[in-house]
Amino acid sequence: MISNLKQWFLLQGVARRRGRFVLGVDQGTHALRYVLWDRERQQIAGWKKFDIESGGAGEQKRRSVSEILKEMARDLPKPQVAAVHIHLQGEALVTGHLELPDDGKPVDAARIKIELRSKLGFPLDRAGYLWRDAGLRDGTRSSDDSGNPADTRRMRTIHYAACQKTSLAALVEMYAAVFDMIPEITTQGYAQEGLLTVLGAGDRPGAVALVSGGRGITSISIFKQGKLVFEREIPLAGQDITRSIFINFLQGHAMRSSSDLAAAEVLKKKSYVPALHGNDREAAGNAEILGEEENRKLYLSMQGVLGAWLQDLRLSFAYFNEHYDSTPITQIFLLGGMANHRNLDQYLRRELDVAVNRIRCEPRPLAFASGESDNSEFNDFFNEYATAAALALKKPGEFNLVPAEAKAFDWSFLLKPALRVFSAAALIFCIVSFGFLQAQEIHFKQVKTIVTQHRGFLKTLEGPFSEMNRWEQFFAHGDYGVVPAPGFLKRLGRITPGNMILTSLNMNRRSAQLYLEGTLYGDAKNRAITQAEFTKALKESGWVERLEMPAWEPSGSGIDKGSFKMTGRLVVAKGGKS
């Protein structure tokens, strides 16, 4: 409940408004890298790489991304992180462009939605998407992606990226659980715009391409004047080269364990692409490499995959020039793990006749909080951290695939724990109430038992009080001189036994004759004794004379009670009425 309330405040931005850090996370297939950017000081505050697969020569153990994120969060100043940026790639991501006839009016978002519905293979209301106006395109268009006929009018190009919400939900839930905030998800291309600006490549003439070769996917992003105009992914990357070496060079047909593929990976890192001119070993650098003959055989084993990868790059660039923009590509930067392959930049430069460079953090425009001397690995392998750095440099709120409704707080997070608390309180209340009722029931049963056992005695408690009220009313209306009523009642109360109840009294006003009726409790012997003692005490009181018991009613008697009648005459005070 407390954590959900905390999440509510964080989602509303209450605790993040003063956050100074932006976290960029590049989550790949076998590794996860992050870069922490300090917005206030304009410098890198932290960076690190985590292997999703860990282990040595034996079987490798796969670590879950959530475990890595928790370990990463322990090392970060999480309360000061203002935003978390990640990117999406693979089959879940759909990118493309729309070409709309220019009518001289601003682009209408409703029209974009209508066009996207016809493009996407899933309902738009179940998708997270973003789009941007890439400007007008001069000249004619031969055909669009769907093969529609040519249109000679000026066309407005709209670049878009979309993903189903189900694919986004897993990422959002995983990162939100660790960092207590909804992450921003974008594409590599949109994130890399900020990186080009920092590296000073945003204002270069012509089009600039960033080719990020990872483990299983190669991402191609093309920029013009610092803005993304084309984005595509090809399903060939470093892992395909490694498998080609395993099959063709190591003569492997089936992998028995991950260590078999690891041997091919080691050979790939030691190999180099033969240079067009000069000494191959010098071109490859001074690192440990294979001999010339062994490297030649190794290169032949992966030449087929490398050639197919190169052909996909050619086709992507040609498709861009034909359907997007005819501006020639003048510069290519290599990113990702494939950029580490020796002489690959020379190979592409030779085959594509375009300036190709492995992206570097030089002249080191990115400052570090801990000093330059502690960041040699980051500078040497900047191509591997470039995507994470680009994500960290992206402005929060820009180019976000996460739908707006995902940023709203899900009240079910509070409702569910509230219902649990309410249910627990209701259960405790029911248990306490049941216990109280049980105690009351036991108490009432005990009272009932006592009343049943002492019914006669309890009736005697009521009898004298009622009789006193009747005697007071009797004497209050008397018009002859008799003994004072209060004194007589006190006397009567003292001499009346506890097991006797006077149920009726009558008096003849003319003769002052008194008639008493009542009930006695107890067995027959006790009732007789009580009757005799009461009669004697009443005679000795001096207020009643000629006291007699004209009738004893054995028929009205029972085992524990009996009825009686008495007659007498009140003593008339001197001077009173007869």
What local confidence, expressed as pLDDT, does residue 466 receive? Answer: 64
Q: Examine the pLDDT at 553 and tell me if it is beyond 60.
A: no
| CATH code where residue 209 lies | 3.30.420.40
Q: Is residue 480 part of a domain?
A: yes
| Contact partners, residue 458, CB within 8 Å, separation at least 6 | 451
Backbone angles phi, psi at 524, to 5 degrees: -60, -40
Q: Is residue 293 part of a domain?
A: yes
Q: Residue 460's pLDDT band (boundaries 50, 70, 90)?
A: low
Q: Examine the pLDDT at 476 and tell me if it is beyond 60.
A: no
| Of residues 291 and 432, more confidently modeled | 432
Q: Is residue 550 part of a domain?
A: yes
Q: Is residue 225 part of a domain?
A: yes
Q: Examine the pLDDT at 286 and tell me if it is beyond 60.
A: no
Q: Work out the average pLDDT over 261-276.
A: 78
How many C-beta neighbours within 10 Å does residue 247 have? Answer: 17
Q: Is residue 88 part of a domain?
A: no
**Does residue 339 sit in the same domain as residue 214?**
yes
Q: Which of 300, 299, 304, 313 is nearest to 348 (CA)?
A: 313
Q: Is residue 222 part of a domain?
A: yes
Q: Examine the pLDDT at 128 and tell me if it is beyond 50.
A: yes
Q: Examine the pLDDT at 554 and tell me if it is beyond 90.
A: no
**Does residue 208 sit in the same domain as residue 352?**
yes
Domain that holds residue 563: 455-570
pTM recorded for the entire structure: 0.64
Least confident of 135-144, 153-162, 245-254: 135-144
| CATH code where residue 460 lies | 3.30.1360.100
CA distance 193 to 31: 23
Q: Residue 409's pLDDT band (boundaries 50, 70, 90)?
A: very low
CA distance 485 to 452: 36
| Per-residue pLDDT reduced to its tens digit, 365-387 | 666 765 545 677 788 888 888 89
What local confidence, expressed as pLDDT, does residue 100 receive? Answer: 83
CA distance 394 to 389: 9
What local confidence, expressed as pLDDT, does residue 315 receive? Answer: 94
Tally of structural domains, the chain: 2
Quote the DSSP letter at residue 450. Answer: H
**Does residue 215 sit in the same domain as residue 352?**
yes
**Does residue 210 sit in the same domain as residue 346?**
yes
**H or E element, residue 335:** strand 329-335
- Domain end, chosen from 303, 336, 358, is at 358
Q: Examine the pLDDT at 393 and tell me if it is beyond 70.
A: yes
What local confidence, expressed as pLDDT, does residue 54 receive? Answer: 52
Q: Examine the pLDDT at 139 and tell me if it is beyond 60.
A: no
What is the overall mean pLDDT for the chain?
76
CA distance 63 to 61: 6
**Does residue 352 sit in the same domain as residue 459?**
no
What residues form DSSP beta bridges with 554? none
